[in-house]
Chain A
Amino acid sequence: MSARIEATGLAVGYGHRPIVEGLNFSLQPGELLVLIGTNGSGKSTLLKTLAGLVTAQKGNVNVLGAEPGTQHSLVGYLPQHPVSSHTLPLRVEDVVAMGRFAHLGLTRRARAEDHRIVQESMERTGAIAYKSRPLRDLSGGQQQRTHLAQVLARRADVLLLDEPTAGLDLLGRQAVAELVAQERARGVAVVMATHELSDADTADMVMLLAQRVVAQGSPTTALTDAALRECFGFTQPH
């Protein structure tokens, strides 16, 4: 089976300044790569590079066998702080339906299948409970569930999730872990940035970043006390 994502000697950053260099990894269908690190360590920049929003500075990277940012309907990206403008008059179901736009393009009419996927995505995240409410009236956690449903509605082969558990309580975090497991069972490759070490428990690969790759490998080999101390300056309770 061909790799969903492949990166060799990859350097990511803005302008001419790399934030992280020498990234080498390969992600197969159904695999989960968890990125852990301090703020500014390069997690979000790597995700943006894989999404095609930032150009790779060095090395090679391909997503689904092509340049990042070219397979729009097959790659779902959840940004760190999805915008929820106070003026935006959008109901939850409208926001989730936007996840189908990459498939619909400019002119194709949404079909019954598109509506079914939107409905199902809201059911999976629990956003169905407030589907007719305006996004601006919801709590941070409810908005996060709505944005997650939007990404799921893309029915992507690769998911790039930037802190998907931010703003969620314990039950919400467990729900995200279940969703990620379901997507992986469907063959979706997932790259997830997080501050929660527990999010890495089921990962195939963990990358510990601090403007360089501190450690990389399975959760048990990468999340050692020494690596965590080097990354965060102290050992986090796991």
Chain B
Amino acid sequence: MAHFLFGPFLDNEFLRQSLYAGILVSAICAVAGTFVVLRGLAFAGDALAHGVVPGVAAAMLFGFSGVLGAAIGAGVMMSGVSVVTRRYRLSGDTAIGLLFVGMLALGVIIQSRSRSFAGDLTNILFGEVLGVSKSDLVWQFIALVAVCAIAWFCRRPFLLLSVDDGLTETSGFSVKKYHNIMLAMVALTVVASFQTVGTLLVLGLLIAPAATGALFARRIGTMMVVAAVVGIFSTYVGLLVSYHANVAAGASIVFCSVLVFTACAVVVEVQRWQAHRKDIHHDHDQPHMHGHVHVS
């Protein structure tokens, strides 16, 4: 049993490397994903993830750094959303939707010029978690430090943005400025994560662990810690399943994180149902309590 659980990681250097990458990506996604969930930026996050596709495709075609290409793609996506929303008075999700499909289509067009079109596109969309290099790990660690620094420095405006734009503005923090900084943090997360889980699946690690944290946590910090634990657990189990069952690693990791959320949501529902039943019994046992005036 022990060999089944730990053997693959002890015996294979490439799998250990993948686990380290998964842990780093889980930690980055836990921090950024918490604010994505609280501010309701899932669609924007998805669009940013797809916005990097043409940049990465161009990098593959012309032979420059994939990370640089992804960063350029994310930058274009963010600027585009900002311009379309401001100049044409379209709602945020319309602007995001337009650029989302536009950038994805551009990415596929650029990639179609490549000889290994299908293979490269699969790598961009689903990642290459088993092909992570040491330099990738260094870059991901730097991204983790940067994302944590942004989240710490902007913790007050980010918290206010998670509650209400009006409260943010009347507290002296510019909604536009800190919303854009938050988007930049999400973009950095996507750029740092796409090589591991791919642009299509990075949203899963951004959303599922943070949403699991939101089910239990009473504080933002706790939500981030729960999200990181769920992400790291999903990475471990996902890689293990991938190794033993010979299935796609990135997809296994993300699917596992969604399963963890589903299981936790069921547990929370059962707890609520039990608490509700307890309240009903309590009311039946102590009927005099009905006479009390509830001062809310």
Contact = CB atoms under 8 A, between A and B. Distances in A.
Interface of A: 48, 51-53, 69, 72-73, 75, 77, 79, 82-83, 85, 87-91, 94-95, 98, 101-102, 104-107, 132, 134, 139-142, 167-169, 171-172
A51 B166 contact: yes
Nearest to A75: B170
18 contacts: A48-B166, A51-B166, A82-B167, A83-B163, A89-B218, A89-B219, A91-B218, A91-B219, A98-B167, A101-B159, A101-B160, A101-B173, A102-B170, A102-B171, A105-B156, A105-B172, A107-B153, A132-B218
A89 B171 contact: no
Contacts of A88: 38, 162-163, 214
Q: DSSP class of B's interface residues: helix, strand, loop or mixed?
A: helix
Contact of B296 (A105, A134, A139): A139
Contacts of B162: 85, 88
B256 to A, nearest CB: 22
Given A168-B296, A171-B295, A69 B163 contact: no
Contact of A98 (B163, B223, B295): B163
B70 to A, nearest CB: 29
Contacts of B169: 52-53, 69
A95 B218 CA distance: 11
Given A75-B170, A87-B214, A82 B164 contact: yes
B218 A134 contact: yes
Given A88-B214, A89-B213, A90-B218, 15 more contacts: A53-B166, A69-B170, A72-B170, A72-B171, A77-B170, A82-B164, A82-B167, A89-B217, A98-B156, A98-B160, A101-B160, A102-B170, A102-B171, A132-B218, A169-B296
Contacts of A94: 219
B172 A102 contact: yes
Contact of A89 (B154, B156, B170, B214): B214
A140 B294 CA distance: 13
A167 B170 CA distance: 23
Interface of B: 37-38, 153-154, 156-157, 159-160, 162-164, 166-167, 169-173, 211, 213-214, 217-220, 222-223, 294-296
B38 A83 contact: no
Contacts of A106: 153-154, 156-157, 173
A90 B219 contact: yes
Interface centre among A83, A142, A172 (most CB of B within 10 A): A83
B38 A101 contact: no
Nearest to B155: A106
A89 B153 CA distance: 20
Contacts of B156: 98, 101, 104-106
A124 to B, nearest CB: 15
Nearest to A79: B166
A172 B171 contact: no
A126 B171 CA distance: 24
B159 A98 contact: yes
B153 A169 contact: no
B293 to A, nearest CB: 8
Contacts of B173: 101, 106
Contacts of B167: 77, 79, 82, 98
A60 to B, nearest CB: 21
Nearest to B296: A141
Contacts of A51: 166, 170
B42 to A, nearest CB: 11
A51 to B, nearest CB: 5
B171 A101 contact: yes
Contacts of B153: 106-107
Nearest to A175: B295
B157 A98 contact: no
A27 B167 CA distance: 23
Contacts of A90: 163, 218-220
B253 to A, nearest CB: 23
B21 to A, nearest CB: 28
Given A79-B164, A169-B295, A85 B172 contact: no
A76 to B, nearest CB: 8
Contacts of B222: 89
A236 to B, nearest CB: 25
A141 B296 CA distance: 5
6 shortest A-B CB distances, which residue pairs?
A141-B296, A72-B172, A89-B217, A102-B171, A87-B214, A83-B164
